[in-house]
Amino acid sequence: MNMNYVRPRDLAEAFAFLAENGRDTTIIAGGTDVMVDLRSGELDTRFLLDISRLDELKGIRLEGENLVVGATTTLSDIYHSELLTQYAPALQKSAYNFASTQIRNVATIGGNVAHCSPCGDTVPPLVIHETKVVFSGKKGERRIPIEEVATGPYRCFLEKDEIITAFILKPVEADFADFQKIGRRKDLAISRLSMAVMVDRDSDGIISSMKFSLGACTPTPHRMTAVEEFMTGKKVTCELLFEGGKLLAEKMIEITGRRPSIIYKEPAVQGLFVRMLYPVV
Amino acid sequence: MNKKYRSVGRSIRKKGGVEKVKGDPVFAGDIELDNPLVLKVKRSAYAHALIRNINTEEALKIDGVKGVFTSKDIPGVNLLGIINRDQPLLAEERVRSLADGIALVAAETEEAAQLGIDAIHVEYEKLPAVFNPVEALKDGAPKIHAKGNVLFTRAVLKGNADDGFEKAYSIIEKEYTTSAIEHNYMEPDAGAGFVDEDGCLVIYASTQNPHYDHKELVSLFALEDENVRIIQAATGGGFGSKLDLNVQGFIGLALLHLKVPVRYVYSREEAYLATAKRHPFTIKIKTATDRDGRLIATRVRAVCNTGAYGSYGIAVASRSAVHGTGPYSVENVDIEVKCVYTNQTYCGAMRGFGAPQMALAHESQMDLHAEVLGIDPLAIRLLNGLEVGSLSGTGQLLTSSVGFKDCLHAIAPYYEEAKKSWVSTCSTPFKRRGVGLGAMWYGIGNTGVQNPSTARVTMEPDGTVTVFTGCAELGQGSTTVLCQIVAEILGISPDEISMVVGDTRYTTNAGATSASRQTYISGNAVKDAAESLANVLLTEAVNRLQVPKNTLVLENGEVTTTGNPDCGIGIAVLAGRIHDKGGVLSWQGYFDPETVPLDPKTGAGVPYATYAFACQMAMVEVDTLTGEVTVEKVVAAHDVGRAIHPENVVGQICGGVAMGVGFALMEKFEQGKTESMKDYHIPTASDVPEVVAIIVESEEPTGPFGAKGVGEPALIPTAPAVINGISSALNYRIYDLPASLERVLEASIQAGHFGVQEE
Ligand SMILES: Cc1cc2nc3c(=O)[nH]c(=O)nc-3n(C[C@H](O)[C@H](O)[C@H](O)COP(=O)(O)OP(=O)(O)OC[C@H]3O[C@@H](n4cnc5c(N)ncnc54)[C@H](O)[C@@H]3O)c2cc1C
């Protein structure tokens, strides 16, 4: 019941605090998930460790071969970043319909990933960029593939004494990249389904490479390699898109089984796939 | 309209508008009291159960808990309900829904109150519950109230429907359903109160109905009228749900026993759990036309689920039955609406009282008939539309102010243009566009019952004017409109008038702010009072100016003679003289629309003195691959009689359209599942279309300056217009609200639009 708020001066202090109190601590960044869970009673914690003002965790930059996004980068920063327009446009687009301006101004990418909601909008774009997530603590750091961060819905692979400090993406200037989602209304809606894609084509318009990830439909994020392989080496037509979408729906059902929501999601996943890739036709 | 008005018809600055922008008005949750206790209600754990025992001992021991009350502590009649009394403030031997309150805790802090709630032990004997009204009607269904599960049935019968169907060229029979809807006003229910030095319970409340609240509290606690005072605090929306006694009764109960200041502000979750919803309807409708498309018969069998209590259920059933024909002339009518108890959270009034639900049915039917006969949806509405001389389903002859066809004509150019150039220019494949119409009529005021309003207009000897009205202002602008009416009659500026609103110590009953009635009914009441005052001023002026009374007018704060502006006398001078002579400067006004109660068997009668009419057109784009719907634009033509404040009318129309889009596309309250705005979607700004509001003024002779009402009419046509738009886009109809992603995508698939498109 009694909760203490702690704001470390730097990352080292945050690590030290977690090393000692990790079990009783919840990290808070933008707080847009934490505050909701506190109010509903789902979350009960002794310490709130506020990392939102640690400069070491902020910023988007190119480092050699890598595109590095700091964990407390806000969705608004992502929305406005020119580097992302160039090297990770799908990630940027995931910020467009993310919540509302007010939420985007505080919500962070680190919180979005660490919360491990199946509906996290930044996750499918991070998947197609083959992102490594940097988990750091007093003992050092480890780099975990984005697909392994969530061990299940709302369950994070993170140890109690670790913080996500950054995301390391493969920067790509693809021919075509996009993120799309469907919600119950046009803004401020959690994704019922979402997807991210990058496509490169050769001079004949044949897909030479494709990366595709589905969001909100499966308990944890998945790159859909079967769909990527099916599409690669083919010329994109409307028929092909419908076939690819159908395969996608099949693969999704292999993972989720036939739950009641499938009645909608099966055709909608196919439909959204077609709509998203139609500009490539 | 040849007379030039000075206040009426102008969008003057809203009374209290500047203060509102500055954040001055005090909402009930913000009232500053001396160390108020906070209140919390222990609600039922079961949808239906007998209460064997309530043990409050542990709760009373908790630090900070100052009182725990149950039904035993209610000294008067423990029953609420403006129309029918069936709802206890706190449950006695039975709970009928999860919303039912069992005990009230007063404590020093929210935390202590919650601990107190948790420490109350209730022994239940669980009873079988029923949630579906059709099930509740069956023999052997759990009985929710002693009188049985049917709250009320309204029949409307005219001619002989069977004969009509016999003669018909085309008959269409369908079933429609609508969902329960949460009002979701911006300000959750709130109130605060104290006991004054005379022992009077003074309660500030977020309410649509201060004088009814007063009556309910007096009866609950067996008090004298003067021992309860309700003051309407600034109120952040109501939409019908703040007609019920939400927090006021609990505040009163705590004040009665503890006599120290208390406050109660519902969390959003509590407002969702414990306040009324819009009645979900199941409507079976069969309509018939002749070869030309003229409606000749309609038969409606509808069931509405009122949940555990009546609230405004009788009004909803009655009004929906009366409005079941739609704004059309139908020779043979056979309508029956049953309002049925179940163990859901109770349903009550919500913007339109059943008319929006019914409009989905009659407007869908119109389009279906048009399609079968190969005529245009607008044409079939023009063919059948009510006009002066028409007889309604209740046998009422409409004698004036029937601007329905004017609304249709006003929409026509937009409609033709949209069909011609918008529908076909769809930007992308996998999207389809459609244009849909929705029409409505709406009786102003309560259905076939007296619903008077009273008001007082007072002039001081120095000429300053104060209007006292019990009419609750909910942000819709009634205070401004009433002020404009008085200003017009007295020939003064609205700025010079003080308004005293919704305080039962100083104001008299204006009836509820509901049923789109305040401009028409309270408008007439203030007009009546102002005219009495004007009359004494004019009489006094005759003395002074030595000219006949019928040549005198009130203008610019003076009485002048027509044609001779130089010969005038200020009203302040007149007021002083009247006062000195012992004359009366304070006048009470009254208005009750003339109605004839509906016959219990046939529904024949005059339910309303006047009706508003409207037609809206929705331009809708459907994503055939995902089921997403975009309402691009709504053109809304509303016959309001006369727009006293045109900008307010436009505001109501825009708000109504926004709410209608939610009703059409996304809103659905599911008991036990829907907790708060996290799982209940209302439209955001991005979901709301561009709205073109067209004001049609077909003057109502009995209205103040010809005015009727617009508050609820604004919402009613939107959902059917959107649904008809979706149907025209997909060539496939949706019969159930909301037209969610799932339903629209299914429609798209069924209609064959999901797949490779041929260019
Ligand atoms: C109204 C509303 C709308 C929303 N709409 C969307 C939407 O459209 N799309 C969407 O994806 N989400 C949405 N969300 C959810 C939420 O905003 C996002 O998940 C957001 O990215 C969370 O970031 P945050 O910084 O606020 O996280 P916080 O609430 O601060 O933290 C979330 C979780 O992550 C942990 N955490 C945070 N940072 C770190 C870190 N660096 N290392 C380790 N653990 C960490 C916290 O302990 C907590 O468990 C919405 C939320 C609200 C309230």
| Ligand 1 environment, Cβ below 6 A | A 26-34, 36, 51, 71, 98-99, 103, 107-108, 110-112, 114-115, 119-121, 158, 163-164, 188, 190
Residues B662, B745: one domain? yes
Q: Looking at this predicted complex, what is its ipTM?
A: 0.96
Q: How much is the pLDDT for A76?
A: 98
Rg of chain B over all Cα atoms, to the nearest angstrom: 27
In a mutational test of the B interface, the residue from A32, A39, A264 whose CB has the highest number of chain B CBs within 10 Å is A264
Q: How much is the pLDDT for B758?
A: 56
Measured in angstroms, the CA of B625 and the nearest CA of chain A are apart by 4
Give contacts of A100 with chain B, Cβ < 8 Å: 684
3-state secondary structure of B561: strand
Give contacts of A187 with chain B, Cβ < 8 Å: 684-687
- Residue after which a domain boundary falls, among B265, B285, B320: B265
- Spatial CA neighbour of B604 closest among B147, B157, B141: B157
Q: How much is the pLDDT for B1?
A: 42
Alpha-carbon distance of A216 to B510, in angstroms, equals: 52
Q: Contact, B62 vs B115, CB < 8 A?
A: yes
Query: What residues contact residue B573 under an 8 Å CB cut-off, 6+ apart?
Result: B463, B544
The dihedral over CA atoms of A133, A134, A137, A142, expressed in degrees to the nearest 10, equals 90
Please report where in the chains the tokens 């769909």 appear, as a residue. Answer: A227
Query: What are all long-range contacts of B631-634, with beta carbons under 8 Å and residues at least 24 apart?
Result: B631/B661, B631/B664, B631/B665, B631/B687, B631/B688, B631/B689, B631/B722, B631/B725, B632/B689, B632/B690, B633/B689, B633/B690, B633/B691, B633/B692, B634/B689, B634/B690, B634/B691, B634/B692, B634/B718, B634/B721
Please report where in the chains the tokens 């009232």 appear, as a residue. Answer: B31
Residues B261, B288: one domain? no
Task: Name the DSSP letter for residue A280.
Answer: G
Residues B333, B417: one domain? yes
Alpha-carbon distance of B151 to B340, in angstroms, equals: 5
Residues B231, B329: one domain? no
End-to-end Cα separation, chain A, in angstroms: 57
Alpha-carbon distance of B473 to B494, in angstroms, equals: 17
Task: Name the DSSP letter for residue B714.
Answer: T
Alpha-carbon distance of B455 to B522, in angstroms, equals: 7
Total number of domains constituting chain B: 3
Alpha-carbon distance of A22 to A16, in angstroms, equals: 9
Write out the H or E segment, with its range, that includes residue A230. Answer: helix A225-231
What is the torsional sign of CA A240, A243, A247, A252? positive
Alpha-carbon distance of B122 to B130, in angstroms, equals: 22
* pLDDT tens, per residue, chain A with 281 residues: 589 999 999 999 999 999 999 999 999 999 999 999 999 899 999 999 999 999 999 999 999 999 999 999 999 999 999 999 999 999 999 999 999 999 999 999 999 999 999 999 999 999 999 999 999 999 999 999 999 999 999 999 999 999 999 999 999 999 999 999 999 999 999 999 999 999 999 988 899 999 999 999 999 988 999 999 999 999 999 999 999 999 999 999 999 998 889 999 999 999 999 999 999 98
Is A267 in the B-facing interface, judged by CB distances under 8 Å? yes
Give contacts of B687 with chain A, Cβ < 8 Å: 185-187
Residue to mutate, A112, A117, A157, ligand 1, most ligand atoms under 8 Å from C-beta: A112
The CA-atom distances, in angstroms, between B566 and each of A263, B491, B545 are 80, 16, 11
Neighbour-count burial of B736, counting CB atoms closer than 10 A to its CB (0-12 exposed, 13-18 middle, 19+ buried): middle
Q: Say if the Cβ atoms of A185 and B625 lie within 8 Å.
A: no
Residues B725, B621: one domain? yes
Q: Say if the Cβ atoms of B627 and A264 lie within 8 Å.
A: yes
Q: Say if the Cβ atoms of B684 and A278 lie within 8 Å.
A: no
Measured in angstroms, the CA of B664 and the nearest CA of chain A are apart by 12
Task: Examine residue B632 and state whether it is found in any structural domain, yes or no.
Answer: yes
Neighbour-count burial of B664, counting CB atoms closer than 10 A to its CB (0-12 exposed, 13-18 middle, 19+ buried): buried
Q: Say if the Cβ atoms of B741 and A185 lie within 8 Å.
A: no
Give contacts of A263 with chain B, Cβ < 8 Å: 742, 746
Q: Say if the Cβ atoms of A185 and B740 lie within 8 Å.
A: no
The dihedral over CA atoms of A140, A146, A152, A153, expressed in degrees to the nearest 10, equals 110
- Spatial CA neighbour of B309 closest among B25, B91, B543, B52: B91
Task: Examine residue B107 and state whether it is found in any structural domain, yes or no.
Answer: yes
3-state secondary structure of B706: helix
The dihedral over CA atoms of B399, B639, B711, B457, expressed in degrees to the nearest 10, equals -70
Burial B293-323 (b: 16+ CB within 10 A, else e): bbbbbbbbebbbbbbbbbbbbbbbbbbbbbb
Closest residue to atom 37 of ligand 1, CA basis = A111
Phi, psi of B339 (to 5 degrees): -110, 120
Measured in angstroms, the CA of B666 and the nearest CA of chain A are apart by 7
Low-confidence ranges of chain B (pLDDT < 70): 1-3, 757-759
- Residue after which a domain boundary falls, among B540, B566, B591: B591
Range of the domain at B614: 277-446+599-750
Residues B384, B511: one domain? no
Q: Contact, B132 vs B252, CB < 8 A?
A: no
Instruction: Work out whether strand A207-215 and strand A155-156 pair parallel, antiparallel, or are unpaired.
Output: unpaired
Q: Say if the Cβ atoms of B684 and A271 lie within 8 Å.
A: no
Residues B392, B419: one domain? yes
Whether the model pTM is above 0.95: yes
A8: cis peptide before it, omega within 30°?
no
Task: Examine residue B172 and state whether it is found in any structural domain, yes or no.
Answer: no
Is A202 in the B-facing interface, judged by CB distances under 8 Å? no
- Residue after which a domain boundary falls, among B208, B234, B265: B265
Q: How much is the pLDDT for B426?
A: 78
Q: Contact, B103 vs B42, CB < 8 A?
A: yes
Q: Where are the beta strands (DSSP E) in A82-215?
A: 132-137, 140-145, 150-152, 155-156, 163-169, 176-182, 193-201, 207-215
Task: Name the DSSP letter for residue A55.
Answer: G
Task: Examine residue B179 and state whether it is found in any structural domain, yes or no.
Answer: no
CATH number at residue B702: 3.30.365.10
The CA-atom distances, in angstroms, between B205 and each of A248, B83, B196, B225 are 55, 21, 16, 17
**A29 CA closest ligand 1 atom index:** 30
Residues B630, B731: one domain? yes
Token couple for B35: 């160390």
Token couple for A175: 């021919």
Alpha-carbon distance of A195 to B626, in angstroms, equals: 13
Is A239 in the B-facing interface, judged by CB distances under 8 Å? yes
Task: Examine residue B387 and state whether it is found in any structural domain, yes or no.
Answer: yes
Alpha-carbon distance of A191 to A125, in angstroms, equals: 14
Residues B471, B495: one domain? yes
Alpha-carbon distance of A264 to B740, in angstroms, equals: 10
The stretches of B207-267 forming alpha helices (DSSP H) are 210-221, 248-258
CATH number at residue B87: 3.90.1170.50
Q: How many whole angstroms from its chain centre is CA B417?
A: 33
Task: Name the DSSP letter for residue B185.
Answer: -
Token couple for B555: 């203008």
**A122 CA closest ligand 1 atom index:** 11
Give contacts of A239 with chain B, Cβ < 8 Å: 756
Residues B536, B623: one domain? no
Residues B82, B196: one domain? yes
Residue in chain B lying closest to A265 (CA) = B742
Sheet hosting strand A25-28, strand order edge to edge: A4-6, A47-50, A25-28
Alpha-carbon distance of B435 to B221, in angstroms, equals: 55
Token couple for B723: 């649904």
In a mutational test of the B interface, the residue from A274, A277, A278, A281 whose CB has the highest number of chain B CBs within 10 Å is A274
Token couple for B567: 């010969």
Neighbour-count burial of B146, counting CB atoms closer than 10 A to its CB (0-12 exposed, 13-18 middle, 19+ buried): exposed
Neighbour-count burial of B428, counting CB atoms closer than 10 A to its CB (0-12 exposed, 13-18 middle, 19+ buried): exposed
Residue in chain B lying closest to A180 (CA) = B626
Task: Examine residue B684 and state whether it is found in any structural domain, yes or no.
Answer: yes
CA–centroid distance, residue B187 to ligand 1 (Å):
26
- Spatial CA neighbour of B518 closest among B427, B456, B451, B563: B451
- Spatial CA neighbour of B161 closest among B292, B298, B289: B298
Q: Say if the Cβ atoms of A271 and B745 lie within 8 Å.
A: yes
State the amino acid at position B224 in one-letter form: E
Neighbour-count burial of B82, counting CB atoms closer than 10 A to its CB (0-12 exposed, 13-18 middle, 19+ buried): buried
Alpha-carbon distance of A198 to A280, in angstroms, equals: 11
Q: Where are the beta strands (DSSP E) in B239-389?
A: 262-265, 277-278, 281-289, 295-307, 332-341, 347-348
Q: What's the mean per-residue pLDDT of chain A?
A: 96
Residue in chain A lying closest to B627 (CA) = A268
Task: Examine residue B757 and state whether it is found in any structural domain, yes or no.
Answer: no
Alpha-carbon distance of B226 to B628, in angstroms, equals: 56
Q: How much is the pLDDT for B757?
A: 66
Task: Examine residue B643 and state whether it is found in any structural domain, yes or no.
Answer: yes
Neighbour-count burial of B111, counting CB atoms closer than 10 A to its CB (0-12 exposed, 13-18 middle, 19+ buried): middle
In a mutational test of the A interface, the residue from B676, B684, B741 whose CB has the highest number of chain A CBs within 10 Å is B741
- CB–CB contacts below 8 A, A to B: 66
Write out the H or E segment, with its range, that includes residue B163. Answer: helix B161-167
Closest residue to atom 47 of ligand 1, CA basis = A27
Domains and CATH numbers, chain A: 4-50 (3.30.43.10), 55-169 (3.30.465.10), 176-280 (3.30.390.50)
Residues B250, B282: one domain? no
Query: What residues contact residue A273 under an 8 Å CB cut-off, 6+ apart?
Result: A195, A241, A244, A245, A248
